[in-house]
């Protein structure tokens, strides 16, 4: 359960030097090989690389459905949480299987991490602000 006790996980940046080394390593080896174990990474470095991975995907994880997520969320009042969750799940099922699986896995980990907010100082709202823009972004950046 690496990171469950780390203050500011996903908020505090990792080392720029480690990020640069890891980028070089992954670009060269596609993550294969034993050298990965030689990196002296902190939990913040790992969290930063996860955010970077989602930010730099060639296609946004939610692709063309980003606006549908946003518009659906706007339709509901604060007391309609169950209805909103149902509607958002319907959109999630429209995602390609790999995207849906990646989003599901990531959200499960973030959900578990949110239970440790007393230690990490990162409740679900803070986690959403720190990694949400990397997970749910428009297919193409625009000023709209």
**DSSP-derived secondary structure for the chain:** -TTTT-TTTTTS---HHHHHHHHHHHHHHTT-SGGGGG----HHHHHHHHHHHHHT-SS-TTGGGHHHHHHHHHTS-TT-HHHHHHHHHHHHTTS-HHHHHHHHHHHHHHHHHHTTHHHHS--HHHHHHHHHHHHS--SS----
Q: What is the predicted pLDDT for the residue at 140?
A: 67
Q: What tens digit of pLDDT does each residue of 40-68 get?
A: 888 999 899 999 999 988 888 888 898 99
Q: What tens digit of pLDDT does each residue of 63-96 get?
A: 889 899 999 989 999 999 999 999 999 999 999 9
Q: What is the pTM of this model?
A: 0.83
């Amino acid at each position: 359960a690496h990171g469950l006790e780390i203050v500011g996980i996903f908020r505090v940046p990792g080392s720029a030097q480690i990020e640069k080394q890891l980028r070089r390593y992954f670009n060269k080896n596609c993550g294969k090989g034993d050298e990965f174990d030689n990196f002296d990474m902190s939990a913040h470095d790992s969290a930063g690389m996860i955010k970077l991975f989602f930010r730099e995907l060639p296609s946004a994880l939610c692709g063309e459905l980003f606006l549908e997520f946003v518009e659906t969320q706007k339709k509901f009042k604060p007391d309609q949480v169950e209805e909103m969750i149902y509607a958002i799940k319907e959109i999630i099922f429209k995602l390609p299987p790999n995207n849906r699986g990646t989003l599901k896995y990531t959200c499960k980990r973030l959900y578990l991490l949110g239970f440790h907010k007393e230690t990490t100082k990162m409740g679900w709202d803070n986690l959403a602000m720190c990694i949400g823009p990397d997970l749910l972004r428009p297919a193409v950046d625009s000023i709209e």
